[in-house]
Structure 1
Amino acid sequence: MPVRGPFARFLAGVALVLLAAVAVIGGVALRGPGLVAVLVSGAMAGCIAAGVARETPAPRRRSITESALHTAAVTVAVLLVLSGAALLLGGGFAVLLVGMAGAGWAVTRWLRRRQVEAGRPARVQDFGHPVVLGMPVAAGLPTSELADEWVRTGVALRGSLEPATRQGLVVRRSQLLDELERRDPDGFARWLAAGPLDSADPTGFVRGGPRRSGPSSETKAA
């Protein structure tokens, strides 16, 4: 969370100076082998952070190198501070410090998540999904267009999509399936039995046309 006001900035500066002093004391207490272990731990944490950043879809807050260096530096600093705190105040206080830091981090993440969710506009779910709202009503489309859209959306789902877009396409495909089954239940059943439906074209199985307002709502071809 941002630090505002001159007094708050002064307290933050004093806290950083104290933590730096404790870290120096911890480094001196560890000596050679201990320092090597701390540096190795920092390097391992940096490698893990780099792997996580590489798998994170763009845009990223930091580059892969920045994420690795930041995590490594924080890990080394935390271990040195804990070492100094254990030397000055005892191991029990160091454990308490770890617990307090973890609880503070969890609370901060929770507050940030609440702020993001509060500022995010509400999204319509299910058949009112934003991706689906801009598409024509399935009941009014010819069967050939329903089949073409089924094939196109199946191919699109194989690619890399944003979660909201993928969810919208899944909802749309559910609409297409319902409409195809309504038009020709027997042909729809044969299509289901023919094999995987991932992007299979239902044109050769499903007959019938769009829903009409007249007495005859369906027209089926032989």
Structure 2
Amino acid sequence: MPLSALLTRSALGLLVLFGGALAAIGGVSLGLPGLIAVALAASVAACLAAGVARDAATRDPGQAAVDAAWRSAVATVAVLLVLSGCAVVAGGAITVLLVAAGLLAVLIRWAVRSLRADRRDASAVVLPLRTDDGWVRALSVPALGREWVRTSAALAQTREPVARQQLVHRRQEALDELERRDPEGFARWLAAGATVDSDPARYVSGDPAAGYDAA
């Protein structure tokens, strides 16, 4: 095992032991009423986390809610007990400083991750601007519809101005081509309440003479 990995694991082990000792001290110092309050706080945190996870999960929302609930409950209990133990050992002022430092570290990490995510989104959706409509003429009507829906999702996730401009340009070209192929079907899509996540290919025919309504 590399020396750096061994040192990291040793440091984590010592940190866990130190935190466990503080949690034990905090639990003893709180007494029964304090432990009941901690349990109530953990229950509230678990319920909130379960609700958020259930709404955000795309697969197996029940399992996601259970996982989020117990993790949040354990984290809440651990944090409150450690803070209580730290207050007993080091005093309230030191505990406040440690909490402030921890919150600052979390905020900095969140900001860095958000910035990196925005950069990844921007780089993933940056598309070359086209000076002609050759690319849309080569796509089928279903492919043009998928392009509209795909770029709608990409536009909602993109913050970088150049990438947004390119997406808007690409979306306009796709819509222009759909309208050129079947003006009546395109008008039916607009009349049906066209939205950014509705597929215009359900209404547009590749053959304007066919005049069919896919809806």
What is the deviation of 1:137?
3.5
What is the deviation of 1:75?
0.6
Q: Which residue of 1 aligns with 2:176?
A: 178
Q: Distance in 1 between matches of 2:9 and 2:143?
A: 58
Q: Which residue of 2 aligns with 1:105?
A: 106
Farther-moved stretch of structure 1 (64-73 vs 106-115): 106-115
Q: Which residue of 2 aligns with 1:37?
A: 37
Q: Which residue of 2 aligns with 1:70?
A: 71
Relative distance call for 1:4 and 1:201 in structure 2 (3 A) is same
Q: Which residue of 1 aligns with 2:191?
A: 195
Q: Distance in 2 between matches of 1:4 and 1:67?
A: 32
Q: Which residue of 1 aligns with 2:25?
A: 25
Q: Which residue of 1 aligns with 2:56?
A: 56
SS at match of 2:124: coil
Count of residue pairs the alignment pairs up: 185
| Runs (5+) with no aligned partner, structure 1 | 129-135, 208-222
Q: Is the 8 A contact 2:57 2:64 kept in 1?
A: no
| Runs (5+) with no aligned partner, structure 2 | 158-166, 195-199, 210-215
> Deviations 1:161-200 (Å, cap 9, x if unpaired)?
9934998x9876532433466789xx78x949x8345258
Q: Distance in 2 between matches of 1:12 and 1:96?
A: 22
> Deviations 1:90-141 (Å, cap 9, x if unpaired)?
211111111111222233445556677788893243676xxxxxxx744468
User: Could you tell me the percent identity over the aligned residues?
Assistant: 32
Q: Which residue of 1 aligns with 2:153?
A: 163
The answer to whether structure 1 residue 122 and structure 2 residue 123 are counterparts is yes
Q: Which residue of 2 aligns with 1:96?
A: 97
Q: Is the 8 A contact 2:43 2:73 kept in 1?
A: yes
Q: Is the 8 A contact 2:125 2:154 kept in 1?
A: no
Q: Is the 8 A contact 2:22 2:85 kept in 1?
A: yes
SS at match of 1:20: helix
What is the deviation of 1:201?
4.4
Relative distance call for 1:9 and 1:117 in structure 2 (3 A) is farther
CA RMSD of aligned residues (A): 4.8
